Structure 1
Amino acid sequence: MPLQRAEGTFTLSARVREGQTRRDVLRQGGCSRLLFPRRDETQLEAVMVNISGGLAAGDQLRHEVRCEERAELLISSQGHERVYRARSEDPPAVIQTICHLAPHSRLEWLPHGTIFFNGARLERSMTVEMAGTASFLFYESRILGRRGSGEQLQRLHVRDRLSIRRDGHPALEDSTIMTGDGLHEYLQQAPIADGACVETMLVLVDREAESYLPRLRSLLEDTGPEASFAASCWDGKLVMRGLARNNWVVESLMSKIVPCLRSGRRLPTGWRI
């Protein structure tokens, strides 16, 4: 029996007016909403809200973001996105996001993490087209199962892709595929995840990215035995990856890292750490 599906879409364009980044175009529909907290900063902040309460199999979300020249836009989320259990025959939920960054613009994509229930099905893609003088900061955390509820993640279907092009040339391609049964035992293996249930990735594409690397690595030294992180930088791209046994460790660390990479700006309004 077919189940009811949710659809959501938003289009947001940001432009500089009178020295501040402001909304230029805003369209939203279905279950996708954007909220705009009031902040005394030149940067515009938008908070994504999925009013359907989470993602079920077959849901469709499509987003488009455009930063005009010298615009500075921060996009976060109201809370952790949840991807609920699905039947094996159900189609996956789909999220497609396309971003365009004009010269000297900056986009910061800093949502809360995504929680995958046992049996979740999701295919997500993010495509970024940016000018060489633009700056892009990206953060994503995948929380595999609800360990606090005693859930073991045995079955999953996830295809997650990040594609960044700079001045029309490929800058970074990252794909994560997790599919099949028996994932709990697989993630327990030391060469794979050694029991970690949170996977984190942070990317900064910026001409000055290398200058942030020493400070970032110093922050990663204090993660303790519950997590393992590493960072590298090349060709104006800084990439940090990590595994942790609980999300609290990740969020505590990110509360220190994100202001560092945002030149001292405070955390997104939706973050409560």
Structure 2
Amino acid sequence: MSVRATARIVARAGGALPVLESDGPLAVRRTRAREPGTARVTVVGAMSAPLGGDRLALEARAGDGAHLTVDAAAATVSLPGPTGATAHYDVRLAAGERARLVWLPEQLIAANGSSLRMRTTVELAATARLVLREEQVLGRTDEEPGTLLTRLTVRRAGRPLLDQELACGPGAPGGWDGPAVLAGHRAVGQLLVVDGAFEAEPVVPRQLGATAVLTPLAGPAALVTALAADARALRRILDGALAGLTRDDG
């Protein structure tokens, strides 16, 4: 039987969390923040999910002046369900004026036989700051990947900042594992940093090693896109890029 569940997080200035609602497999827990007056929430899986046919959603909002970090206790593993149906996981993020939202989930692993569509949408006020990391791993150790379709859409002050989609695994358009896309790598990720400071001093586009690139976006923002052989190597690349782009957003 498929599961439908939505978890909600709302943070206010000063570190208050007036809304912290868990549902189904999505358990959200307040954890210790690194800075006073800020809020940190950790997503803890309460059961195996998403399974085929599940429809999950997580909503997180940092209100005006709030500083909110959302991370996770473990990786999310997309698993096949009994009917072969596709699972859906929607992440909806928002940050108000002068807010800071840091979204640092663990890896999303597409296990063999699974099918998942994941959609992340972000709405930012003009003066909001964002740090967003996404990591996808194609299959567990020594197994073929499942089917994974991810889309990230970000709007700032009501205007499009970024809208991109990636499809991998069986059923994805041909060439997804070819030299123009993943080139045989099993881990792919991106790091997006939106900060008004980039208006005065945009980042310089450059390669970050052999399989990663830093790109400035009109917005103002910086995007790091990376490939790696495995999850550990991917995290190392993105952590290094994050340290270079932010002072302290943890």
TM-score range, shorter chain: 0.7 to 0.9
Matching residue within 7, 28, 47 for 1:10: 7
Deviations along 1:189-225, one digit per CA (max 9) or x if unpaired, are 43432321101111112212375835x958x24xxxx
Q: Equivalent pairs: percent with the same residue? A: 22
Matching residue within 148, 152, 157 for 1:158: 148
Matching residue within 170, 174, 198 for 2:164: 174
**Is 2:134 the partner of 1:140?**
yes
Which deviates further from its counterpart, 250-259 or 98-107?
A: 250-259
Gaps of 5+ in 2: none
**Is 2:65 the partner of 1:82?**
no
Does the Cα contact within 8 Å between 1:81 and 1:113 map onto a contact in 2? Answer: yes
Give 2:198's aligned amino acid: A
Give 2:164's aligned amino acid: D
CA distance in structure 2 between the aligned counterparts of 1:143 and 1:179, rounded to whole angstroms: 11
- TM-score w.r.t. the length of structure 2 is 0.88
Give 2:186's aligned amino acid: C
Q: Could you say which residue in structure 1 is the equivalent of 2:223? A: 239
Max Rg structure = 1
Q: Could you say which residue in structure 2 is the equivalent of 1:271? A: none
Q: Following TM superposition, by how much is the alpha carbon of 1:234 offset from its aligned partner in structure 2, in angstroms? A: 2.7
1:173/1:180 CA distance change after superposition, 3 Å: same
- Aligned residue-pair number: 247
Matching residue within 240, 243, 252 for 2:236: 252
Q: Could you say which residue in structure 2 is the equivalent of 1:106? A: 100
Q: Aligned to 2:10, what secondary structure does the other structure show?
A: strand
Matching residue within 191, 206, 212 for 1:202: 191
Give 1:192's aligned amino acid: V
Does the Cα contact within 8 Å between 1:33 and 1:50 map onto a contact in 2? Answer: yes
Deviations along 1:34-67, one digit per CA (max 9) or x if unpaired, are 1121235132111112211232101121122121
CA distance in structure 1 between the aligned counterparts of 2:172 and 2:196, rounded to whole angstroms: 42
Q: Following TM superposition, by how much is the alpha carbon of 1:102 offset from its aligned partner in structure 2, in angstroms? A: 0.9
- TM-score w.r.t. the length of structure 1 is 0.81
CA distance in structure 2 between the aligned counterparts of 1:9 and 1:173, rounded to whole angstroms: 23
Q: Could you say which residue in structure 2 is the equivalent of 1:131? A: 125
Trace 1:28-43 onto structure 2 (pairs within 5 A): 28-41=22-35, 42-43=37-38
Q: Aligned to 2:164, what secondary structure does the other structure show?
A: strand
**Is 2:59 the partner of 1:64?**
yes
Give 1:250's aligned amino acid: L
